[in-house]
A = this chain, B = another copy of it.
Amino acid sequence: FTDRDQNQALSLRYDGNVLFNERSAFQTVRIYESCAYGKMLTIDNMIMCTERDEFHYHEMLVHPALQILKEPRKVLVIGGGDGGAIREILRYPSLEKVVMVEIDELVVTAAKGFMPSLSYQFDNPKLELHIDDGIKFLERCAEGEFDAIIMDGSDPCGPAEALFSQKFFGSCRRALKPKGILATQGASPMFQESAFQELNLTLKTVFGIDDTHVLLFHAPTYPSGMWSVQLGIKGNLHPHLNFDSDHAAIFCQNHGLRYYNEQLHLAAFCLPTFVRKLIQNQ
């Protein structure tokens, strides 16, 4: 299987078996059995996640934001149909409800059928699942409803572009409580340089320069392996100042996290100079 653009490609060998292969109104969803990365979910021929390394992405998408909040009670997920994000969110004992809005039920069906390590929380009674358009859902949403919004969607370029507009992030900010955090997968500063910059600029416009933050992590099965999460913060909260390292250390230990830890929380926000320069003064 090969995930490619014009100039580069990443190939993972699979054993010849395509376990799931269906087309919805939106996209083609497939699951392959790869040789080195376990089962692999692809959408329109792009790797979404593999069993072996999905924890890098899902832990770094969810925990930096929720550890700043420390005791999140109500969280909204846009996308995330594979179930990895809600799995991480439901680790918080303080959590009362997680609302997921996924536009394509087929992704949920595929994950439930073939990737139990990702999807095992779909039956959790704290989950409220809507098969719906995230944009419309947020327009109808009450003000100040969520402690956190996690955007676990496609890339900023392409069909999901409207999910990265100023208008959409404005709706997100409105739906956050007076102290709340939006975390979105933030594109690659190496592979999608301008999408990464534009998203950052949009978040700064909506949340303010001092309340927009970028972290990096290693995503071995995404092109370039260098991926970001971007945060927009509403209210007086700071990724370092409102972070309780001891609390996080115990949490990570108790839940057997495999990527995120209390040291990495601070370290992930320290960016290589060329990444810093891509987003400064904009």
A35 interface contact, C-beta 8 A: yes
The answer to whether B273 touches A266, judged by C-beta atoms less than 8 angstroms apart, is no
A258-282: contact bitstring with B at CB < 8 Å (1 yes, 0 no)?
Answer: 1111011011101111101000000
A252 interface contact, C-beta 8 A: yes
A257 interface contact, C-beta 8 A: yes
Report chain B residues within 8 Å CB of A12.
Answer: 7-8
A112 interface contact, C-beta 8 A: no
A1-27: contact bitstring with B at CB < 8 Å (1 yes, 0 no)?
Answer: 010101111111100000000000000
CA distance A91 to B84 in the complex (A): 45
**Most chain B CB inside 10 Å of its own CB: which residue of A2, A35, A226:** A226
CB within 8 Å of B: which A216-268 residues: 216-220, 224-226, 252, 257-261, 263-264, 266-268
CB within 8 Å of B: which A194-230 residues: 216-220, 224-226
Shortest distance between the CB of A239 and any CB in chain B (Å)? 13
Shortest distance between the CB of A266 and any CB in chain B (Å)? 7
CA distance A191 to B191 in the complex (A): 20
Given A224-B220, A225-B225, CB of A272 within 8 Å of CB of B56: yes
Report chain B residues within 8 Å CB of A11.
Answer: 2, 4, 8-11
Shortest distance between the CB of A170 and any CB in chain B (Å)? 31
Shortest distance between the CB of A265 and any CB in chain B (Å)? 9
A129 interface contact, C-beta 8 A: no
A190 interface contact, C-beta 8 A: yes
| Residue from B4, B266, B273 in contact with A267 in the complex, judged by beta carbons closer than 8 Å | B266
The answer to whether A270 touches B266, judged by C-beta atoms less than 8 angstroms apart, is yes
Shortest distance between the CB of A215 and any CB in chain B (Å)? 10
| Residue from B6, B9, B34, B220 in contact with A225 in the complex, judged by beta carbons closer than 8 Å | B220
CA distance A273 to B273 in the complex (A): 25
A36 interface contact, C-beta 8 A: yes
Report chain B residues within 8 Å CB of A274.
Answer: 258-259
CA distance A267 to B270 in the complex (A): 6
CA distance A191 to B221 in the complex (A): 11
Pick 5 A–B contacts, CB within 8 A, sort by A: A4-B11, A6-B36, A53-B190, A220-B226, A259-B273
Task: Identify the A interface with B (CB < 8 A).
Answer: 2, 4, 6-13, 34-37, 53, 56, 190-191, 216-220, 224-226, 252, 257-261, 263-264, 266-268, 270-274, 276
In the complex, given contacts A6-B36, A264-B272, what are 17 additional A-B residue pairs having Cβ atoms less than 8 angstroms apart? A2-B11, A7-B35, A7-B37, A8-B37, A10-B11, A11-B11, A53-B190, A216-B218, A218-B225, A218-B226, A224-B225, A257-B273, A258-B273, A264-B270, A264-B271, A266-B267, A267-B270
Across the A-B interface, give the 3 residue pairs with the lowest CB-CB distance, nearest first. A225-B225, A7-B36, A267-B267
